[in-house]
Structure 1
């Protein structure tokens, strides 16, 4: 048996933070050496950070990356390490590369062949894809190193690379590497989080190890690196179709390692049985290197999922853990002193308050409260706190801002939740401010404003007047203001610009209201990990969502203003994510909601959605940065682009009306199958 102890490392990097990234890379290497690891793979572009955006064009960035690489190399004694960085070659093109280092010697640079270019990833803007089978050289310092489609022969053990997107395409480079007799495939990745994506990654890691007859090492970034994307810290090691080990995702630590012992002879036997051509090694693309692989004892290995990953509520768990970790990183990487939240007592603001508290509780489980305070060592106010609730009181300031239209129910909901979390709670009445603005405009117009003629203006001024107080608290405390708008509101513009949309970050703008309400009930009764429950949400969960901007006798509710949230969510999914016409969307919701809502209700909802969607793109353009959670994101800067000015689906909605009224002969349900 040829046994090798290998490791996959996850890192919480920061774009352009040279010292931070170099330190955690070296810390991970030294930890791996202490654990007697012989081969360590670290994530994609970990030297620079993945989210450098247009700074990848900078010549200075690539030079700094090479300098950092040279400072890392001396820390690789008696270990083989893969680190990643952008390289600019003599053709003045930049490539996304993985550098293999063995015992303080750079062996060469493998280049990414397939670039991610779907919304949140924009790699073709900065990098050039490498063509299979090609090789070049680059000089760094006094030495030249091979670059390209490389297979590294390290003392008889053949190591190749698939870099992130390379493994997601049908004709993946692993096939070519298998034909050349590869033993170990390393996959350094920067793969953004979305719901259930970890299961897909696990599948291609296991399938790759089986199909290619290799040991496969996958590692990913962790945390909120640059603002919008969240990385979950997935790491897997598989061999011959068996998953040997997987990481605990969403760690709050700077880095994490998972290790396994692999048998190279066993995978080679599998290759022979699978009739892989071991004689087809392309010498021109092989990089030999001398390295003494230390003897390792075999161990029993079986990958196990965390408790919460085995349950029925994976999406609820992932949402809580991903957004909580993203809030933590956004807080510390922006060097802010805490959060301010306009807490209305409704579902949106209550979910955000809950996520801030969960941020502290999940960090406590991951790195302990002492570790949490060390990572926020610049915040003096939390250093003497002993419990999560005390820390929440120092980090989260909430403010309830009522008017004559606010109810006792929402006040009690906000106050009881803040109290249960330990958050600081302020209560002010802004009715006088609203009346001041109203009278100023009435004097200029020479008439009184009324709910019959000026409904929208009278609603919006209440929401908008709340923003200055929240911003003032934010400035006083050196904090981040949390915007409370959700994705359903963004889709139809049911939000007040410079009111509830005001903020530094918009934590729930990537999630729909229908899901959010269910998640709040789950957190109250089931709890994150099955044990972190928030009973303070009971009052929130008993209320019907309402903006409380009209007089109480008008009995305002969100769903009466708009449409049922489950219908809104379905229309958004079919119409925006799937790009179907209003007529096709209507056909789908007729089937999906048969017996729940009238045909007229569904028709008016579809018609209203598309009209509001077109009118409100300018609002979506102005939303605070939001976290990316799935392929239903409406963020125009990373995922869902739509013109600010458009035809507004006029022709399509006219066709929908004809269909609905039955004038085309197909207007009765059941005539068209899909």
Structure 2
């Protein structure tokens, strides 16, 4: 009976649908594990296809390709450690989220996921069949139990594995980021360790996929819940871990314990990684954005430079007669601090031509929001022309407060392919800007120092679409607006709940109305980085045609 066991954990970043490329990553990790003398190399949930695959996994051609590649991978990795890798598995008419165990040149078995998440961004009940709770598999004379992701959030799967002889738990995950989620994961995993008395490895995926960001942060717990190992967040890595059998069973030898940063840094890292991966996985190398001299576009420019390098970022200022000299100066100062390309295209002449063209049809009507939106749509047209001509993805720059209440112009400043700050309320935009100015990390490709001029952060926000315009002319002050939205959106609170929290009922009703009537805009908006459990897209799904209003 073996008294030691070496396990390699591969916290890696798959590319959705790149089955061959993901297999190559797995094979490289296996080579690393073989060189280290490991008995088993483990990869995350559904790694061979990518996660979250949504309806892609239902395509029969995808299922066949996955099986072919995993069988070939098993044959290629015959002489060395076993491999555990996530991927879909078909049995008869059923489709499972499975953990494939490759050993000795063949597919030894598949562990089938039992608990299927069906909330927030997950629709696994719609896609997969629930597998039965199985027993452990054997590697090197050691019995390993592998609850798959959600299976470890409930006691039954882990307890059954312990009762049927598992000696440690290896849990593959595709668990996306939201603030403070690491504490939630740790709490559940400690419960499994206490209930079973077994050492536990929590292996999580890393990388961006559409709106979701997988933050890694894999860890290991010894019996009793003591932390034995913790990997960094948002960074890929491979680590070899040793277990030793003593009189009281298996224990994990102490490994590196990475310190995880605060939520401001994690949010910023998430937005940077999400943007970099979205572009890389969609085949883009460069971005552009409209730079207004305001705080939102300045933050997006900083994120883009940190994600891609300043040489791959183009900022475009498109002044009208309402653009202040201060905004022009602030925009230029931001670009000079970042070192990216800066172009200026005045829109006054184009706006005049559009206004003249519409004049016969608008005759007798006062100027209103229509004319303001024309400016925004001209800017969207020009930016999309640059995007088409130069192959640079256009980034949008609306924060969560604006996205929530529709304070944005559809087919105007909403035009674009990705929005890094879509899940950041305006008040948090200011916090993130100040954090970035005070901190620089090795994973940032942009420069150190104050990359978002203080003047931009401190001035009153304005769309500058009419003389002396301020956001507060149209919306409650942002601390009030964000407080109400945090209740209505993030907490699913009622109007009465908001009033009980101290907000004026008339203001709350106005915000609620704007939230509902803006659904059609959000339906057509660019995807953006998910930072909370109630991001706009898969987390919150409401009808567009909707007369419901809360009268509480």
CA distance in 1, matches of 2:442, 2:138: 44
- Residue 442 of structure 1 aligns with which residue? 359
Q: CA deviation at 1:155?
A: 4.8
Contact 1:487 1:513 in 2 (8 A): yes
Contact 2:265 2:435 in 1 (8 A): no
Which of 216, 227, 230 pairs up with 2:213?
A: 230
Structure 2 counterparts to residues 151-166 of structure 1, below 5 A: 151-166=136-151
Q: CA deviation at 1:628?
A: 1.5
Q: Which digits, 9 at most, give the CA deviation of each residue in 1:340-364, with x for residues without a partner? A: 100111111111101012224xxxx
CA distance in 1, matches of 2:410, 2:140: 63
With structure 1 as the length reference, what TM-score do the two structures score?
Answer: 0.77
Contact 1:2 1:264 in 2 (8 A): yes
Which of 300, 316, 319 pairs up with 1:402?
A: 319
Contact 1:13 1:21 in 2 (8 A): yes
- Residue 180 of structure 2 aligns with which residue? 196
CA distance in 2, matches of 1:609, 1:77: 63
Q: Which digits, 9 at most, give the CA deviation of each residue in 1:414-437, with x for residues without a partner? A: 111111111100112111111222
CA distance in 2, matches of 1:648, 1:404: 41
Q: Which digits, 9 at most, give the CA deviation of each residue in 1:577-600, with x for residues without a partner? A: 33232122221134xxxxxxxxxx
Q: Which digits, 9 at most, give the CA deviation of each residue in 1:382-408, with x for residues without a partner? A: xxxxxxxxx412x10110011111111
- Residue 470 of structure 1 aligns with which residue? 383
Contact 1:40 1:81 in 2 (8 A): yes
3-state SS, counterpart of residue 264 of structure 1 = strand
Which of 524, 529, 536 pairs up with 2:451?
A: 536
- Residue 511 of structure 2 aligns with which residue? 609
Contact 1:218 1:235 in 2 (8 A): yes
Q: CA deviation at 1:529?
A: 7.7
Contact 2:379 2:412 in 1 (8 A): yes
| 76 and 513 in structure 1: CA distance in 2 versus 1, 3 angstrom threshold | farther
Contact 1:29 1:76 in 2 (8 A): no
3-state SS, counterpart of residue 258 of structure 1 = strand
Is residue 262 of structure 1 aligned with residue 243 of structure 2?
Answer: yes
CA distance in 2, matches of 1:544, 1:529: 33
- Residue 295 of structure 2 aligns with which residue? 347
- Residue 481 of structure 2 aligns with which residue? 568
- Residue 282 of structure 2 aligns with which residue? 334
Q: CA deviation at 1:200?
A: 2.3
- Residue 580 of structure 1 aligns with which residue? 493
Q: CA deviation at 1:51?
A: 2.9
CA distance in 2, matches of 1:494, 1:549: 12
Which of 254, 266, 272 pairs up with 1:318?
A: 266
Q: Which digits, 9 at most, give the CA deviation of each residue in 1:19-40, with x for residues without a partner? A: 1111001011111111222222
| 94 and 423 in structure 1: CA distance in 2 versus 1, 3 angstrom threshold | same
CA distance in 2, matches of 1:269, 1:67: 36
- Residue 416 of structure 2 aligns with which residue? 503
Structure 2 counterparts to residues 602-641 of structure 1, below 5 A: 602-635=504-537, 638-641=538-541
Which of 507, 518, 521 pairs up with 2:431?
A: 518
Which of 186, 199, 202 pairs up with 1:218?
A: 202
User: Structure 1: which 5+ residue stretches go unaligned?
Assistant: 133-148, 271-297, 361-390, 591-601, 656-674
Structure 2 counterparts to residues 132-147 of structure 1, below 5 A: 132=133
Contact 1:44 1:83 in 2 (8 A): yes
